[in-house]
Structure 1
Amino acid sequence: MTMAEVENTLCEAPIDHMGLADLSVTLPRAVRLQRLVGQLKARFACEAVVLLQEEGEALRPVAAVGLSREALGRAFEVAQHPRLSTILLGREVVHFEHASTLPDPYDGLVESMAGHPLPVHDCMGVSVHVDGRRWGVLTLDALRPGTFDASARAALRASLPWVAAAVRVSLLEQEVQVLRQARVTASGGEGGVGAPMPGVRTGIIGHSAALQQVLHEVDVVAQSDLPVLLMGETGTGKELFAQRVHERSARAKGPMVHVNCAALPESLAESELFGHVRGAFSGATTDRAGRFEAARGGTIFLDEVGELPLSIQAKLLRTLQNGEVQRLGADKPVKVDVRVVAATNRLLKDAVSQGVFRADLYHRLSVYPIHVPPLRERGDDVLLLAGHFLEVNRARLGLRSLRLDAGAESALLRYGWPGNVRELEHVMGRAALKLLSRGVNRRDIVTLTEDVLDLAETPGASLGLAGLASAGDAVPSSAGASAGPAMAGLRAQVEQFERGLVRQALQAAGGNWAEAARWLGIDASNLHKLAKRLGVK
């Protein structure tokens, strides 16, 4: 079916049929699908309507009304949710009555009753097929038993063609966009584009303007073969953006090789990156290809590239300039066709001025620099990501439902996230475990409150260091404090402040001492010595 035929199908729908006729192709995809679920909610007088797209073994909400904000960040594994599995595998409308013993995936997530978590009492859903292929499911949930009677189920069945048509328009729009991008790329002489199929995700969750701007930049530069330098704080997920560059490039069918430059010992770095021949050094009993050769025809991702020793930087520069590598101990270089994507949480310009990073290599790597925004600049994305991690922990811990209350949501939005997405992941997992340790029933709707999140009261500043002192290590204020014998000595106050910084930096870094040391601006070995002196384990 062409775009015009879909538009005619939608526009010929009777106006009194839930108002679906206004879902024309002139609406943006997100607006169209959101309006669709809104109209369904009004038509069936229920509390929640969710449209979920099938992605591998999971169902991910693409439009929802009536659920808490963090629910949109969740991916519901089909195997773990029998109601969704039953709906997905059938072709008819499926109804689950109040007496159904199958758990509802939205228990505790439906917005109503002043935010109190309530189980769903009536549910129906249907699988959505587009052009004969299964696309996802549509679910409707109500808190009042008996909401979805026989007439409601018949009405949902009658609505299905318009639901499928709205989805089809969105898919066609995505395909048109891909074709346009390919045409622009071809006209620019960049050799075509390996565009992804609509709906492909690389694990990047969020709707904020800051994130969407970066994703747009990534998608544009992916179609070229230019080197890309991803810059951003630790924990922002730069590896996911590198993966997206690869998947949306002409090299998508080739390998993507990940190299953590910070984990490469200087003595082995050259061999790991460029390979070696037999006899090149003690223990080299066979020829071995390096990471660059392994990435032929694809992409090599140099994570934490700022940690490379200067001796290796010179060899890397040659590879970028000439497109060739020379194995350690070999006489001749080997040609390699590799795209380089690098990432760093350091300011490489400063490293250049300090003489620890080559200026010529910096300019080669930063042909197209992209700044990955920290979590504190992404607004409500923190709730979507929290929802994703809540669902992961719910499944991992065998809980019926895991949700946030209003106070916890506000705390997440206030906090500055010096450790970014990685810190949020640790906070969600730790809070869930803390509730389990208090003896909550796994069959109940488990609610995370602000007190179990254990967040610092002061949000982190732009460098991720403000507010690092935890409540138990707060620094006494000089304002209003009386001097005298009762006041702690200067050394004790300094140690108390240092102890708070070290503990919170380690917590934000997920226990990674090297990352915590970088945030604090000291050497990792010195951090270990400082922690030992302060009694921090």
Structure 2
Amino acid sequence: MTPSEWLNAVVPLVANLPQKMPASERYRRLLETVRRLFACDAVALLRLENDFLLPLAIDGLSPDTLGRRFRIAEHPRLQRLLEAGQATRFPPDSPLPDPYDGLVEASQGQLEVHDCMGVVLQMEGEPWGLLTLDALTPGRFTPAQVESLGAFGSFAAATVAAATRIQRLEQWAESEHLQAERYRRAASQASRPLLGQSPVFRRMLKELDLVGASDLTVLITGETGVGKELVAQALHQRSARRDQAFVSLNCAALPETLVESELFGHVRGAFTGAVTERQGKFELADGGTLFLDEVGELSLAVQAKLLRVLQSGQLQRLGSDREHRVDVRLIVATNRDLASEVRAGRMRADIYHRLSVYPLPVPPLRERGRDVLLLSGFFLEENRCRLGIGSLRLEPDAQEALLAYDWPGNVRELEHLIGRSVLKALGRQSPRPRILSLSAQDLGLPGPDPMARRWDDDSSSLGAPALAPSAAPAPGLRQAVEAFERRLIEQCLQRHRHNWSAAAKELQMDRANLARLARRLGYNSPPPASGTSCGRGADRP
């Protein structure tokens, strides 16, 4: 073949490198060119994968070749081609078996290959696979063709590299597009409403309306299960960014080694498993809102990088020196006392002040009074629709039990309790009723007697007197529980000389929660105990 014929064959391959086309079509054109240049009977492109060579494209071989996996240790010709690192020809009288014997389509009775050569394809300095050429006629390939195949191997490797990179880019772009669309849909979909009529809840809604329209960073605080993410979504919907993405990340749900990548993104090769470049949550939320739940779980190293983004709006992907600028409204949430975390050295003071621009506490369910019945109605209706029940209602004793319970798990606990109780009550009804009523027994919440027995058993360790079995019954469960809580707190404070931190530790409560409970029980100022000092031992809420 003349040099001009070579150029005419090779130039289209080079021109196609930057073009977008399926990898299969790119490989088909490559093998078609090889057969035209070298006048061979069959050609194959094989990818190296561990100890095997897998055919990606073939021309002139039987179709079942694509389903084969050539173990390198069992095919000495393929093994020698990989080891040679350059174009290699096997003479017609070579004793090494050919892996394509019997697979060439144009055999017409000839089953064995009589002339073959191949070249290893390198990608990023490592063997990627092989390009093999086979002929049924002995002496088909000349030394000049072997030399030409060595040069052509560079074009073949470039074709493979282009196909691989374009495929990776397409997969990455599709993944990022789908992820961004999910965030946009999540931001536009109506989330669960914030239900409540209690004074403490209305105060929170007023603050939410006030700060929602701004771009201030909001620190949402509250116990586990109070609905901090719903509050964050409500803030986003009240902002000018409501039509942009709302992206959330639970900082406690990821190992420390992945948090930085999730927040700021990474480039290919930044760490083991980083096979493509990836945007982080900050970039995905650009123009919108980023919600970081359990922000108190971030390590000090990640806090320092987060501080830089908050100060300048600039970030660097993991493993890259390139700067990316983002415009993000940050909302964070925690059930920890971040001021205490700063004093303990687990949180940087500067990041704490950046995050707590506008603290927004979410009240626990036990402080919201009859809001528990509003929320119960919402969850009952959800379960009614999901289970196809005509009507779901609460018996009066069930309502009293809900109002009297302390709700350590807050709204999330209530949601799970309603769903569980509906299923249990439905399982006891046969046939399925049109109207299903839940009783206090269906809810399974602790009643007066079980509470009394439980505290009786623990009274010796807590120093609290047991409730007398013969005592006159209290007006109701809630009043009895509150009376017991008041007595227990008072006795615990007496033992610790009115040190509220020590009392909270013994009662296994957060100090702030203990202070709120004491105020709800009527302790506007803590009652002094005998011998109590107002000096350093006192720790008033």
TM-score (norm 1): 0.49
Larger Rg: 2
User: TM-score, normalized by length of structure 2?
Assistant: 0.49
- Considering Cα pairs closer than 8 Å and 6+ residues apart, tell me whether 1 or 2 has the greater RCO: 1
